[in-house]
Amino acid sequence: MRSGHYKESVPSLIVLSDSTAVWVWGGILVLAMAMAPYFLNAYLLSFLVLILITGTGALGLHVLTGCTGLISLGHVGFLLLGAYAYAVPVAKFGAPPLIGFLSAGVVPALVSIVVGVPSLRLKGLYLAITTLAFAFIISHVVLSMSWLTNGARGLPVMRPELLGIDFESDARFAHLCLVVAVATLFAVLNIQRSRVGRAFVAVRDNDIAARTMGINLQAYKLRAFMTSAFISGIAGALFGIYLSFVSVEGFPFLMSIEALAILIVGGLGSTAGVVLGTVLIVLLPEVARIALGMLGPQAEMLFSTAAHELRTVLYGLVIILFLRFEPRGLVGVWRDVKRLWVNWPLRH
Amino acid sequence: MQYLVDLVVSGIAVGAIYGLVAMGFALIYKATGLVNFAQGEMAMVIAYIAWTIAGTVPGHPWLVVGGALVAALLLGLVIERLIMRPMLGEPVFATVMVTIALAVILRSLVLLVWDPYPHALDIGVGRDVIHFGGTGVRSAQVAVMATLLATCAVMWAFFRFSRIGKAMRAVAADERTAQLMGISAARIHAVAWVGSSLIAGIAGIFFALIYDVSPNLYHVGLKAFPATILGGLDSVLGSGLSGVVLGVAENLAGGYLAPSLKEITGFAVIIAVLMVRPFGLFGEREIERV
């Protein structure tokens, strides 16, 4: 039995994972998800796609809120911007989808500077309120610039063709989402073990101490905003393609809450937590629907008529219950289980 | 000119509602140091309860108002006792997220319990129009302005003279020292939640009287945010008066610039104010010591 977890050099400290088991299981999981589209029916496949897209978006918020500690209620604003930054050039002006994805990342990142600069002076609650205001202003601007965005009518979006590969079918589109999600996951993990990522965490843990260590708070906060907006924008574009229609209604404010719920349920500040939280939050309404269905057809009826409301209540309850009883989130539960498994019958 | 006067008067009336809700924000922030994102939702729930009472026993305006205020009192107590008190001592992020979760839950519960259609709250008073020169004002609009002034006066006297009000100021200034002086912080928090729920309830009833009861009523909370920021999160009276300023500002922007601007005037004001003064216009500057 291994008696401890010893790190003896800097590379071993910042390596992605020193455990072969983690790499092997991670590989198996990715492989399983790559094969899944050939075995799942369309209904289950849509959940896989939703998990992958939502996970990408949650990773975007994770960089800002989880790593850097800047609470943002404006996540949905970046998702919406990303979706429109993809849809406007591709659907309206016939640009190649690759350009669309590039602009889906770059446009929110640029706009995030506009949000980020006033936010530099703000902390905690004030920042949350500013980002909330920002989300409303974005959807208003999108609605009022109807010559570009078709206003409330929205823009239809086709499945793209990238690098000569046609992503028209559901299975292909799931693969596209998988590639983006895995790439984003690695990008975020790599940011975290770089100088920039350590600076983010230092800003989160104690910004005054970070500043005395020579970290330029403003530069790093802006960088966190831009990284987060870039990732969220890509996720927004994918979500728009998934809906095959980009409109302001497709991106309700609830998405900001959903993203925060994912971070809290998974465990704030943990990348593995984002993955776990995404799976739980995306599947939660479906699990609740099945559970209610067992109570009888009447309960299931309620779910079909008031799906959005029940989903909202579920998110709210999950947030409150996790914050109350397990603030470390699913990652905390996982660590406890692991410790129990390794050390049983001893306690430590 | 008449157009301007009309815009300003109706702006003051709607601003008085924002001001009331904003005072609720500030009261909770002052006592507990957190922003209650569910303030608008609380106003909405109380307005719905008032509408239900008015529908069950028509013709008793005082019963409707009294019943709704008792419901507001209970709502504030229940939220504080069941949801907020267990979170005492947790980081601000966690407690604020709890209020956000509470907000979305209340919002959906209203849709589940009642229906998604707008209703008029008809209690027999408040709909008659009073004329001042050429400007017609509903009596409920006059009443809400008077209520805001009265609430401001009560709040001022409460913080200045009453024992609990002074204790609340002490808790706001330094919670630990206040506790060492024998003040129960938990009880002060409960008072703040009840007070803020009552004020939100009053605002909700007035909103329902002047406009209607609908699941979008919680927007009044979003609109009141800018007022709280403008007045300073910890300044109860400042928030109340800033509400009026913002009500007028958004009416003028909507009337003269573009109707759609009305919705986001407040948010634009938030960003502008926070860029110039990160702690609000009348808020106390926090000094961080290492």
For chain A, the average pLDDT equals: 83
Contact A310 B108 (CB under 8 A): yes
Task: Confirm if B9 and B133 have CB atoms less than 8 A apart.
Answer: no
A122 vs B: CB within 8 A = yes
Task: Say if A299 is an interface residue toward chain B (CB within 8 Å).
Answer: no
Q: What is the pLDDT of residues A112-157, one digit of tens each?
A: 888 877 777 776 677 787 888 888 888 888 888 777 777 777 788 7
Nearest to B15 by CA among B281, B227, B197: B227
For residue A156, give how far its alpha carbon lies from the nearest alpha carbon of chain B (Å). Answer: 25
Residues in B closer than 8 angstroms to A122, CB to CB, are 274, 278
CA–CA distances in Å: residue A59 to residues A218, A235, A260, A272: 22, 9, 11, 10
**pLDDT of A230 higher than 90:** yes
pLDDT digits (tens, 9 = 90+) for A253-287: 888 888 888 888 888 888 888 988 998 888 888 88
Is B104–A254 a contact, with Cβ atoms under 8 angstroms apart?
yes
Indicate the range of A157-171, A316-330, B207-221, B253-267 predicted with least confidence: A157-171
CA distance B264 to chain A (A): 6
Peptide bond into B215 cis (omega under 30): no
Span B206-217, average pLDDT = 84
What percent of chain B clears pLDDT 90, i.e. is strictly above it? 8
Extended beta strands in A109-164, E state: 155-156, 161-162
pLDDT at A59: 92
Tell me if B271 and A264 make a contact (CB, 8 A cut-off).
no
A124 vs B: CB within 8 A? yes
In this model, does residue A348 exceed pLDDT 80? no
pLDDT of residue B149: 87
| Separation of alpha carbons A246 and A242, rounded Å | 9
Report the pLDDT averaged over residues A78-93.
87
The pLDDT-based confidence of A3 (bands split at 50, 70, 90) is low
ipTM of the complex: 0.80
Residue A116 confidence (pLDDT): 79
Q: Which of A154-158, B124-128, B148-152 has the lowest mean pLDDT?
A: B124-128
Please tell me the predicted confidence (pLDDT) of residue A299: 67
Least confident of A13-17, A193-197, A316-320, B160-164: A13-17
Nearest CA in chain B to A69: B93
CA dist., res. B19 & res. B230, Å (int) = 11
**pLDDT surpasses 60 at A1:** no
Q: Which of B97, B103, B104 lies nearest to residue A323, judging by beta carbons?
A: B97
- CB contacts, 8 Å: B268 with chain A: 133, 137
Q: Is the pLDDT of residue A302 over 70?
A: no
Instruction: Assess A189–B contact: CB distance below 8 Å, yes or no.
Output: no
| pLDDT value, residue A43 | 83
Partner-chain contact B270 A315, CB within 8 Å: no
Per-residue pLDDT, A303: 66
A108 within a domain of the structure (yes/no): yes
Report whether A133 contacts A243 (CB < 8 A). Answer: no
**Residue B70 or A298, more confident:** B70
List of residues 6+ apart from B219 with CB closer than 8 A: B40
Task: Yes or no: say if A83 and A239 are a contact pair by the CB < 8 Å rule.
Answer: yes
Question: pLDDT for A16-69, tens place per residue?
Answer: 777 788 888 888 888 888 888 888 787 888 888 889 999 999 999 999 888 888
Task: Tell me which H or E stretch contains B172.
Answer: helix B163-173
CB atoms A121 and B97 under 8 Å: no
Is the Cβ pair A315, B98 closer than 8 Å? no
* Chain A residue nearest residue B233, CA to CA: A126
Structural domain for A154, as ranges: 18-252
Token digits of residue B126: 């408040």
The predicted structure's pLDDT at residue B226: 83
Residue A257 touches chain B, beta carbons under 8 Å: yes
Q: Quick one: pLDDT at residue B288? A: 62
State whether residue B229 sits within 8 Å of chain A by CB.
Answer: yes
Inter-chain CB proximity A309 and B108 less than 8 Å: yes
Query: Which residues on chain B are in Cβ contact (under 8 Å) with A143?
Result: 260
Angle between helices A42-61 and A254-266 (to 10 degrees): 80
HSE-CB for B273 with a 13 A CA cutoff: 27
For residue A102, is it within any domain?
yes
Q: Which of B25, B45, B87, B104 to mutate to test the interface with A (most CBs of A within 10 A)?
A: B104
Q: Quick one: average pLDDT of A153-163?
A: 76
B223 shares contact with chain A (CB less than 8 Å): no
CA atoms of B7 and B202, how far apart (whole Å): 23
Distances (CA, A) of B22 to B190, B239, B285: 18, 5, 19
The residue ranking higher by pLDDT, A35 or B287, is A35
Q: What is the domain count for chain A?
A: 1
Q: Find chain B residues with C-beta within 8 A of A140's C-beta.
A: 260, 263-264
Half-sphere exposure of A333 (CA within 13 A, CB side): 13
Is B122 an 8 Å CB contact of chain A? no
Between residues 35 and 64 of chain A, which touch chain B (CB distance below 8 Å)?
Answer: none
CB distance A320–B267 less than 8 Å?
no
User: Touching check for A320 and chain B: CB below 8 Å?
Assistant: yes
Looking at the DSSP bridge assignments, the partners of residue A166 are: A161
* CA dihedral of residues A216, A222, A226, A229 (deg, nearest 10): 130
Average pLDDT score over chain B: 83
Nearest to A306 among B92, B111, B264 (CB): B111
Binary contact (A312, B107; C-beta < 8 A): yes
pLDDT band, residue A229 (cuts 50/70/90) = very high
Answer with the residue of higher pLDDT: B251 or B123. B251
CB A137 within 8 A of CB B264: yes
Q: Is the pLDDT of residue B184 over 80?
A: yes
Rounded to the nearest angstrom, the minimum Cα separation between A111 and chain B is 15
Q: Is A264 near chain B, with CB under 8 Å?
A: yes
Pair of tokens at residue B259: 């109707």
Cβ-based contacts of B270 with chain A (< 8 Å): 129-130, 133
* Number of neighbouring beta carbons within 10 Å of residue A128: 26
CA B140 to chain centre: 17
| Any B CB within 8 A of A145 CB | no
Q: Does position A101 have pLDDT exceeding 90, yes or no?
A: no
Note whether residue A290 is domain-resident: no
